[in-house]
Amino acid sequence: MEKKEKILELLQKNARLTTSELSERLNIDIEEIESIIKRCETENIIRGYYTLINEDNYHIKKVRALIEVSIRPERDGGFDRTARNIGKFPEVTDVMLISGNCDLQLIVVGENLNDVANFVAQKLAPLDGVLSTRTHFILKKYKEAGFQFENDEDYERLKITP
């Protein structure tokens, strides 16, 4: 595997790894790691770093909905312009073009049920090019971005084995 791929694989699992930690694990010079990361950032390969929060264990709980959206493709640009415009609303955290019964799948976040419902009724549905929406509220999250939210009980191995 190339150095860049190795670095990105590790950062994708843990964005907080320092360059010196990456260096020790991968046997690559710190300077080289820094320059690879810098380049990935300028080339928009690394788009950002964020923290995954398990809201079940946190006092601030937001309401999230998966929303399927059917849109009218345009002569030039297909779905892209509408998808990008939808993504400009801060309530929308994820926008994906998907195959199947609808065109886009969104994740929309709000303080409460009403927030999300209002967003759909007042902002999303009236948008030029949006034909229909179907909203599914998320009840519980079990796994996100590779992380299980609940671990199995700890199981202790023997401390010394041959």
The residue (of 21 and 68) whose beta carbon lies closer to other proteins is 21
Q: 143-144 and 104-110 as β-strands: parallel, antiparallel, unpaired?
A: unpaired
Q: How far apart are CA 29 and CA 7, in angstroms?
A: 12
Smaller CB distance to other proteins: residue 47 or 157?
157
The CA distance from 84 to 64, in Å, is 20
Query: Cβ of residue 146: shortest distance to other proteins, in angstroms?
Result: 12
DSSP string, 99-153: SSSSSEEEEEEESSHHHHHHIIIIIITTSTTEEEEEEEE-----EETTEESSPPP
Minimal distance in Å, beta carbon 51 to other proteins? Answer: 18
Positive or negative, the CA dihedral 40, 44, 50, 55 is: negative
Q: With respect to other proteins, which residue has the nearer C-beta, 139 or 158?
A: 158
Instruction: Extract the tokens encoding 48.
Output: 């950002």
CB 23 within 8 A of CB 29: yes
**Inter-helix orientation angle 30-42/19-26, to 10°:** 120
Residues forming contacts to other proteins in the complex (CB under 8 A) are 10, 24-27, 152, 155, 157-162
Q: How far is the CB of 7 from other proteins (least distance, A)?
A: 12
By beta-carbon proximity to other proteins, the closer residue of 88 and 159 is 159
Q: How far is the CB of 17 from other proteins (least distance, A)?
A: 10
With respect to other proteins, which residue has the nearer C-beta, 10 or 107?
A: 10
